[in-house]
Chains A and B, each alone.
Chain A
Amino acid sequence: MSKLPHTPRDPLPDLLSAHAEEDRALLARAASGDEAAVRKLYRSHVGKLQRHAARILGVTDPDVEDVVQQAFLAALDGAAKFDGRSSVQTWLFGIVTRRALDAARARYRRRRFSRVWASLGLGMGAGGDQSPPDHAYQAANEVEQMLSSLSPLQRVVFVMHDIEGYTFSEISGLTDVGISTLHGRLLAARKCIDATVTQHAQTDNAARPARGQDDA
């Protein structure tokens, strides 16, 4: 009997750890113009933030780095607004999330518009668009491909709730989206992933006998 671990990571230790206190001190020093503090703050968070932005925008998306950098600059500019109710990491996650979400939504809208445009027989897609549903999101592997089937907000709530372990109220505070909306989007995201996985499994099963014949 094997069972996959499925408990989301608890963010509470982050909030309570000594690191949180150190981060606050670093942020204050960085805001006052201390370059060493800027570098240290950046080094301790950039990995997680970059991965988070990549999950929302797509691993190979060229805007990922830009989103992370702009988020850091915004954080340094607005350090005075940091009220200390959450950890610095959570606060930075919020800034990255909002910026990545804006970028993903803008693309999503553009893509929808181009589909409508193509359906009218106009634009670049007029010749019959064979591209995948979210061609703006370039997945690095099959697991990430599952994320590409989600809308931007579904992706954000799935990543933050089911992967990063944030609560609905925290996500709501970070994204300015109501809790009930987030809840609905999360259920839709999970259903969508289940459906995609099932579809993939069926495709694989259909391909398996054919491979067997080849081998034979």
Chain B
Amino acid sequence: MHRQDPSEGLILAPAWERVAWALREEPQLLDDVARARMERNLVDAWRARSARAVALPSGKLQFSRAMLIASALASAAFGALCVMFLPTDRHELAANATEVPARFDLVIDDGSVQSGYLTEGQVIESGRHGRIEVALEQSRVDIAPDSRVRFERLGRSELRLSLITGRVEVAFHPERVGEQHMSIETRSARVLVVGTQFSVDVDGQGNTKVSVSEGTVQVVPRGQGETRFVRAHEQIEVPIQAPQEREREVSEVIKSRLRAGSDVSATRERAGAEAVEPEATPLEGRVMRRAQHTRADGELESARGLLLAGRHAAARERLHRLARSETQPTSTRVEALVLIAESYTSQGQIPRAADTYRDAVNLAPHHPSGYNALFALARLNERYTDDRSAAGVVYREYLERAPRGALVSQAREALCRLGDASSCE
């Protein structure tokens, strides 16, 4: 079956055998991030199934019709006796259960792209064009675009959210007024709710605005200032108190990063945050047409939503379209390519990711976004391939191109790590 290559005199295996050999030698596709995400999804699904199995035991006992009717009658009679004679308050039973199920739907372009259940301590972000609808037992929280909220407490007697930034609209209608409480904490105030409909806005600085459309809320400023009651059709603004609040903001960011764990989106966000380089030419941003910016941002945001929902192929298709469009600003096209590269990375397609980062660098060789892509490429080489020299070359390329860039110290540290003693301080 083996044939001789006339040009080189080598004995060649048949093509299928060479293909099989190459595929056998292929490394595993899963990176640690994807592996962790898949594991978490599996365990969640398995827990949900186990819970259902406990609720609905699948025993093979065969009941006769008479037995079924008898047991139904007995249950009904027992239920009636409980209602008539037992002093137990059903609300009390409900209140003893620990957590309220909080179902969320991430909505982009009027379509739900992701849904699931929130747990205590979880932080969710709506993104620029996404909206999140959270349904709790007696209340509903609508999180507006560009907002970030942490669900601190999801108890039956207490619901507590932290609005880090953005806007939430809340409808809270408890069954037992006075026994169930809801509060929303911002950096400048605490909004205590008894039973009402209202919205809370937090701007970039942390100033809080509360508007009430039904009922009354109590607003407690965090610094100096009196507690106020805001009634229906009234609104109040609570300004932030600078130094103390700035400290809180910093600790907030650190805490949220620590909480991010192995989540793909969080990792992506963290990687993005690390790689962000300050704009060297801030004027360029002003020259760009705003309308074009907004449309492109929308496209990027919806692609991000698709990536978060795990729909990589669809997201990449959208991003490729954006990256190819010559009418878009270069920074947007580079960002699209970087997102494509991150998507490939998360799916373990490292060579493709590297090619895409390089495309991004070539598209903007003298722009900060291009420098960022170069740094990301170096990091990819360092983390995902065994080729330390290639990683070193790219880090050096970054240092040459962006000698005053924000990532210079990280690039030097990486070079030191890779064995370049001259970069170690």
Question: Interface on A for B, CB 8 Å cutoff?
Answer: 1-6, 8-9, 33, 35, 38-39, 42-43, 46-48, 50-51, 54-55, 59-62, 65, 68-69, 72-73, 76-77, 138, 140-141, 143-144, 146-147, 158-159, 162-163, 189-190, 193-194, 196-198
Contact = CB atoms under 8 A, between A and B. Distances in A.
A163 B29 contact: no
A138 B314 CA distance: 13
A1 B11 contact: yes
A140 B352 CA distance: 8
B39 A42 contact: yes
Interface string B32-47: 0011001101110111
Interface stretch (B20-28, B122-130, B203-211, B383-391): B20-28
B21 A73 contact: no
Given A47-B28, A59-B349, A143-B22, A38 B42 contact: yes
A193 B2 CA distance: 15
A27 B67 CA distance: 37
Contacts of B351: 140-141
Interface stretch (B79-87, B237-245, B305-313): B305-313
Nearest to B351: A141
Contacts of B14: 190, 194
Interface band, chain B:
35 or more
Given A38-B43, A73-B49, A144 B23 contact: yes
Interface in B114-156: none
B41 A158 contact: no
B55 interface: no
A151 B55 CA distance: 43
B93 interface: no
B21 A46 contact: no
Interface string B1-33: 010000000111111111111111010111000
B311 A73 contact: no
A3 to B, nearest CB: 6
Contacts of A194: 14-16
B198 to A, nearest CB: 40
Contacts of A50: 28-30, 38
Nearest to B22: A143
Contact of B313 (A43, A62, A140, A143): A62
30 contacts: A1-B11, A4-B17, A6-B20, A9-B24, A33-B50, A35-B46, A38-B43, A46-B35, A46-B39, A47-B28, A47-B35, A48-B28, A50-B29, A50-B30, A51-B30, A60-B347, A62-B312, A65-B310, A69-B42, A72-B42, A73-B45, A73-B49, A76-B46, A138-B313, A140-B349, A143-B23, A163-B24, A193-B16, A194-B15, A197-B19
What is the predominant secondary structure among interface residues of chain A facing chain B? helix
A77 B42 contact: no
A159 B23 CA distance: 9
Given A3-B2, A46-B35, A197-B19, 12 more contacts: A2-B11, A3-B11, A6-B20, A51-B26, A59-B349, A61-B313, A62-B310, A62-B314, A144-B23, A162-B17, A189-B16, A190-B14
A192 B13 CA distance: 15
A43 B24 contact: no
A95 B275 CA distance: 42
A163 to B, nearest CB: 5
Contacts of A60: 312-313, 347, 349
A190 B347 CA distance: 29
